Structure 1
Amino acid sequence: MAHQIEQMAYVGATPWHGLGSRLTEKQPIEVWQREAGMDWKIQESPVHFKSDAVGHLGAIHSFPEQKVLFRSDTKAPLSVVSNRYHTVQPREVLEFYRDLTEVSGYELETAGVLKGGRKFWALARTGQGAALKGNDQVNGYLLLATSCDGTLATTATPTTVRVVCNNTLTIALDGMSQAIKVPHNTHFNPQAVKKQLGIAVSQWDDFMYRMRTLSERKVQWHEALGFFMSVLCETSPTAQIPDVLPNERALRKVQELYEGKGRGSQLGSARGTAWGLLNAVTEYVDHERRARSNEYRMDSAWFGQGAQIKQRALDTALRLVA
């Protein structure tokens, strides 16, 4: 099976998904571009098709409403999109961080491509961090990702990583992600996105205040069961439990993680608390959930169904302390 990740680079400890090649710290953007497999361009060509044969070759026609996107290095096709589709180049994703790393104290930690180049990203630590009781460290990150196949708008997402287990969680307040999304029918303006992100990043303290509140909220066993049923089975805990629960394997796994098998589950911040409930779900999604490979699990955890499960867990946990 071909890997979804064609190439990836990282600094520091091996990322939670266990993928990529290691760089020494403080590398320039140009090194990241090469080592992360992002040193190619998205090129485009009009769509042509062949109609019924006329003579030896057949008649070639163009379809002006759409274009083919392909890689400059391998010429491999990436997608067919509308002529109104604006591409964001792999280099632009890394360049977004140039002034942030050179002036604002950010540090690139991972970057790479998924699905043969149809999706690519870079993740940088912002320098923000906070410790919950028991020295449970949570650090702030900024993820910038985009696609060239219509599956993902160019999206800048403030994210947290819990150090003890490398669980990732999108910063969200009042049920709303702080992500900034730029659809591909408009031009990507990095400075405008950074200006908008200034507001989101400033909400770090508010978010961590809520996470600290979760770490202080003790939960009973029936509350824990209700939480997991609501998040994973989308079943109301007050409803009659069916003979066969949907997603029963996941339910059993997150209960095990919560009750002591999860990394960091024995810390004072997590043991028997709403913070522990949330991290049991995020650890399950990031590390344990069934997937064809770690690459697929990573794609889901950041951009797909896994990200939706984690958002549902966060919303449900915050309702416990509302």
Structure 2
Amino acid sequence: MTTLALPDVNQKFAAERIAQINRAADKQAGIDAQVAAGKLRNLGNGRYLVTDPDSWDNGEVLTMSQGELLPEHGLDETTGQVALYTTTPAWHQLGNVIPGGTTDIDQVLTLGGINFNVSRRPVLYQANPTDQLRILPDQFVNIREDTNAGLGVVGARYEVLQNRQGFEFLQDLVDDYAVTWESAGALREGRKVFISMRLPQTVTIDAEGVNDEVVPFIVALNSHDGSSLFQVVVTPWRPVCGNTERFAVRDAVTRWGVRHTRNARDRIEEARRTLRLSVDYFDHFAAEEEALARTEIAIKEFHEVIGDLWTSPDEDAPVRTRNKHAKRLDLLTDLFDTNAARLGRTAYAAERAITEFADWKTTIRPTGSLRGNNLAARATAMVEGSADELKSKAHRRLLTLTHR
């Protein structure tokens, strides 16, 4: 009988640990080289600022995690927990993941870290350091009750719309109260809260073998800092690329908002009409997208569309301006080629390329609490619809090619 020697687990562990250290050292050497080249700035505590003007991540703060430089997620962590509930794991692998989701509002509020109330309190001030505190008339500060954090200063007419009311409002927009909540969470220390659920309709773009599935979501955005309306948007999301994106159906409005006033909860029917939460809406959307998918276009036509969206600089324009335009054109062409490999050289692939560029490749300059956090700012901009006008214009322009 032959006796096989068992492997030395200690030796195996030591060898693997040495390999891990060597890999981390190699990565650290690469990071140090980028710092020396001026492409990264060491902020301390494992955080680095991208300072490379040629990088699309320029201005973003990256954090060292297990030897990897990763973008920051921007979610609220003021209670010691990441404020996120989701049905599927996110890229950062954080938050409370419930496969299949839940219909329990209370559970989502807790898991999403948004089971807090907000109250208004008078704004106090001192005219001089030794004076007694005075009340500023008609001004209030919104206070997060579980952390006592000041979220923003608002006027006398402002009414707090609690997070639970946002859930109930969203649910009232659809007929089926057994909807599954897809995600919920908080950004900016709770100043902004998001809630989303999946609509029962699923749109399939089934033209010329594309078979591309678009899953419509409805998202509510509630702010507690007085900076924005309570908003609801319809978002067709493509799981194949992980982006959230909105497309205009001709000039249809897919966004509804209301000020934080007493009658906000009374305007559900207005929201339902404005958002066009109907099968006809999605049928119309699918018909237009299928028309784009059936329309083959040449690269020259794609470049003409790009020229309509971004005017070409004059020959006497500054070199930097001309280089920026050329770089954008090259990137859009690459994105078109990538999408065309799966979708064909169609107007539909062109729309995907422009949408991807608008959501992920354009320069973004975060301000306020999102300063230095490009990823969180970009995600917020997508949901808030910062690039909607560009996407809508591209959609309408590409539709003209279907009538040739």
Q: Structure 1 residues 62 and 11, CA, compared in 2 at 3 Å: closer, same or farther?
A: same
Asked if 1 retains the 8 angstrom alpha-carbon contact of 2:183 and 2:195, the reply is yes
1:35 paired residue number: 111
Q: Name the CA shift for 1:304/1:211 in 2 (closer, same or farther; >3 Å).
A: closer
1:78 and 2:151 matched = yes
CA distance in 2 between counterparts of 1:217 and 1:141 reads: 27
Q: 1:256 aligns with which of 334, 356, 359?
A: 334
- What are the within-5 Å matches in structure 2 for residues 100-249 of structure 1? 103=176, 106-132=179-205, 133-185=209-261, 187-189=263-265, 191-193=268-270, 195-196=272-273, 199-202=276-279, 203-231=281-309, 234-235=310-311, 244=322, 246=324, 248-249=326-327
- Aligned equivalent of 1:21, options 96, 99, 110: 96
Alignment-derived partner of residue 317 in structure 1: 398
Q: Deviations over 1:52-88 (max 9, x none)?
A: 24xxx41222112211112111111111111111222
Is 2:142–2:152's contact at 8 Å kept on the other side of the alignment? yes
Change (3 A) 1:276 1:186: farther
Residue 122 to residue 50, structure 1, CA distance change in 2 (3 Å): same
Q: What letter matches 2:132 in structure 1?
A: A
Aligned to 1:44: 120
What is the CA distance between 1:49 and its match in structure 2?
0.8
C-alpha RMSD of the superposition: 2.9
Gaps of 5+ in 1: none
Task: Look up the equivalent residue of 1:259 and give its one-letter code.
Answer: D
**Structure number having the greater strand percentage:** 1
Q: Which amino acid aligns with 2:98?
A: L
8 Å contact from structure 2 (residues 173, 268) kept in 1: no
Residues 195/287 of structure 1: CA separation in 2 closer, same or farther (3 Å cut): closer
What secondary structure, in the 3-state scheme, does the structure 1 residue paired with 2:245 have? strand
Structure 1 residues 225 and 98: alpha-carbon distance in aligned structure 2, compared to 1, 3 A threshold: same
**TM-score normalised over the length of structure 2:** 0.68
How far, CA to CA, are the matches of 1:71 and 1:302 in structure 2?
23
Report SS of the residue matched to 2:200.
strand
User: Paired residue for 1:68?
Assistant: 141
SS at match of 2:161: coil
How do 1:90-105 and structure 2 match up within 5 A?
90-98=163-171, 103=176
TM-score, structure 1 normalization: 0.84
> Aligned-pair distance for 1:157?
1.2
Q: Distance in 2 between matches of 1:8 and 1:63?
A: 36
Query: For 1:281, what is the secondary structure of its paired residue?
Result: helix
Percent identical among aligned pairs is 23
- 2:87 aligned with 1:11: yes
Deviation of 1:23 (Å): 1.5
Contact 2:196 2:220 in 1 (8 A): yes
Give, in angstroms, the shift of residue 286 of structure 1. 3.6
| C-alpha distance in 1 between matches for 2:273 and 2:255 | 10
Distance 1:230 1:186 in 2: 44
Task: Give deviations 1:194-224, integer Å, cap 9, x for gaps.
Answer: 5435734341111111111111121121221
- 2:237–2:243: 8 Å Cα contact kept in structure 1? yes
| Alignment partner, residue 277 of structure 1 | 350
Per-residue CA deviation, residues 100-143 of structure 1 (Å, 9 max, x unaligned), is 78935532211111222111111111021122232211111111
The question of whether the paired residues in 1 share the 8 Å contact of 2:173 and 2:272 is answered with no
5+ long unaligned stretches in structure 2: 1-60, 62-71, 77-82, 365-372
Between the two proteins, the alignment pairs up a number of residues equal to 310
Matched with 1:299 is: 380
Q: 1:71/1:229 Cα in 2 relative to 1: closer, same or farther (>3 Å)? A: farther
Give the number of the structure whose alpha-carbon radius of gyration is greater. Answer: 2
Report the residue type matching 1:5 in the other structure. L
Q: Which amino acid in 2 is paired with 1:90?
A: N
Post-superposition offset of 1:44: 1.0
What is the distance in 2 between the residues matched to 1:165 and 1:218? 22
Q: Which amino acid aligns with 2:223?
A: S
Please tell me whether the aligned partners of residues 248 and 391 of structure 2 are also in contact (alpha carbons under 8 angstroms): no
Aligned AA for 2:197? A
1:24–1:153 CA distance, 2 compared to 1 (3 A) = same
Question: Offset at 1:39?
Answer: 0.7
Moved more, 239-248 or 305-314: 239-248
